Structure 1
Amino acid sequence: MSVFRLFILSLLTCFTVSTLSAQSDKEQLANTQLIGRDTSVVIKDSTQKKNVAKKHIPRIATNRSWLIPGWGQAYNKQYWKIPVVYGILAIPSVAFVYNNNMYKKTKFAYEALFKAQLPQPDSTDYRLIDPQLRGLSISSVQSYRNAFRRDRDYSILWFVLAWGLQVADATVFAHLKEFDVSDDLTMQISPTFNPQTRTPGFGLVMSLKNPDKKPRQVR
């Protein structure tokens, strides 16, 4: 009788241990599945964020070009254009500095010559005139003054146009960055014949990058 009780007790003990072990395995499996799902969700989210981050936005290139010349080209990864941009902007900048300096000199020379020709001449500033302008007549100095002032104003206009040109360049190439130029885009021209009018013609077949749709034919 004692042996039978011992056997029953051992059997219950084994059953309990096996049940607890099975429950522990189920819990570990569930936790593993949850971790796997969480990991997949994290990977999926990170992949989506990475794809969103890689998207090229033309508005960013435009705004950056307005702020700093060449910054939009750097956003488009066209680094070779940056020296070209600054070279184009440097031309009207140098022209502005030169013409502005010459305008100040010719303006001062004109005013000094004008004072020297008054009924009561004032030659105080005459000796301060630039040596290259001292031997010219007052009409010639006036013409040079007007020409340098005009060229100075034109250099400002050319600088603004050059700035706008580099903004337009960054904007256009930012839009073309997302333009599809893969092999799936095709356009073919083939001869056709119209049986109703009995006249030949040409057919234009355009294949867009959409495998679900058939090529569209335009005649």
Structure 2
Amino acid sequence: MLKQFLVVVILMLSGFCAQAQTQDTVVRKPADTVIIAPPKKVNDAGQRFVPKVKKDKEYHPDTTHIPSLAVKRSLIIPGWGQLYNKKGAWWKIPAIYGGLGALGYSIVDSQRGYKKFLAFYNIKNLGRVPLPTDREYEAYQKYKAEYAIYAGQSTTYFTEIVSNYQRNFQISILGVVAVWGIQAVEAYVEAKFISSFSVDNDLSIKVSPGFINQQPTYAMLTSTDAYIPGIKITFTLK
């Protein structure tokens, strides 16, 4: 009897424990999410605010600017092409004429010195004071006071000075030609690539940071810096 009672009690306890461990699972539905739109901006008159669309500025080449005309004007009159281009002419024209003026003075001074010392050389080579019947007499009368200063010099001395003046004269002539040609070329470049050329909306440029992938070398096999920082420039033609 006692054994049967114990069995019944054990069975009741087992059923009670099993019922206590089982719980109802309630799945809660998430609450509905309501998105509230921000209020529309209105002006004082009660109308809706609409931002203005900014139109990009368009650039077009100056087709009326002729590079060949700038060159022709510069070849005729130095600085005329720069004045035609109108960009930077305020300092280019004085610089051109300053260089031509210095070279022109050098030409005149070299020619004057060449003639004077050539006369000194002829008088010295004559070996005496020129007579009225001599070819050197007129030059001697003209440079008599100055020749007295150099009378003690040798003919070699006068030869070297004459050669120096002749060389300076030739270099000055070449300098004038060079300045004349350079200012004509400058006028053409100014008219061709600056005044008659511009970038319009069909060309865009983008600059962004990036990385450069280096080729693997022995030093890089032992280093983790396989990429180096750089700048990426992208041109796009629409």
TM-score (norm 1): 0.59
Determine the C-alpha separation between the residues in 1 that align with 2:144 and 2:101.
Answer: 27
Higher Rg of the two aligned structures:
2
CA contact (8 A) 1:93 1:155 kept: yes
Provide the aligned length of Structure 1 versus Structure 2. 155
Q: Is the 8 A contact 1:63 1:72 kept in 2?
A: yes
Q: Which residue of 1 aligns with 2:148?
A: 134
Residues 1:204 and 1:116: Cα distance change in structure 2 (over 3 Å): same
Give the match for residue 65 of structure 1.
74
- Match of 1:135, SS state, is helix
Residue in structure 1 matching 2:123, options 107, 112, 127: 112
Residue-by-residue CA offset, 1:33-73 (whole Å, 9 max, x unaligned)? xxxxxxxxxxxxxxxxxx99852121111121111101110
User: What is the aligned-residue RMSD (CA, Å)?
Assistant: 3.1
**CA offsets, 1:77-132, max 9 Å, x none?**
13312222111111111100111011111112211221235xxx744424443523
User: For the residues of structure 1 that align with 2:165 and 2:131, how far apart are their CA atoms?
Assistant: 25
Measured after TM superposition, the shift of residue 135 of structure 1 is 2.9
Given that 2:71 and 2:187 are in contact with CA atoms closer than 8 Å, whether structure 1 keeps it comes out as yes
Paired position in structure 2 for 1:100: 111
Following superposition, the deviation at residue 162 of structure 1 comes to 0.8
- Name the % identity: 28
Matched with 1:31 is none
TM-aligned CA distance change 1:53 to 1:116, over 3 Å:
same
Are residues 1:77 and 2:86 paired? yes
TM-score (norm 2): 0.55
One-letter code of the match for 1:76? N
- Whether contact under 8 Å (1:76, 1:177) holds in the other structure is yes
Higher RCO (C-alpha 8 Å, min separation 6)? 2
Letter in 2 for 1:153: Q
1:178 maps to which residue?
Answer: 196
User: Which runs of 5 or more residues in structure 2 are unaligned?
Assistant: 1-59, 217-223
Q: Which amino acid aligns with 2:95?
A: V
CA shift, 1:159, in A, is 0.7
Partner Cα separation in structure 2 for residue 131 and residue 158 of structure 1:
33
Local SS of the residue matching 2:125: helix
**Greater helix content:** 1
> Counterparts in 2 of 1:146-185, with a 5 A limit?
146-175=163-192, 176-180=194-198, 185=204
Distance 1:90 1:69, change over 3 A: same
Distance 1:55 1:191, change over 3 A: same
Match of 1:200 in 2: 227
Q: Which amino acid aligns with 1:101?
A: R
Question: Unpaired runs of 5+ in structure 1?
Answer: 1-50, 214-219
Q: How much has 1:76 moved relative to structure 2?
A: 0.2
Is the alpha carbon distance of 1:59 and 1:114 closer, same or farther for their aligned partners in structure 2, counting shifts above 3 Å? same
Give the secondary structure class of the aligned counterpart of 2:81: helix
Task: Tell me if 1:144 matches 2:161.
Answer: yes
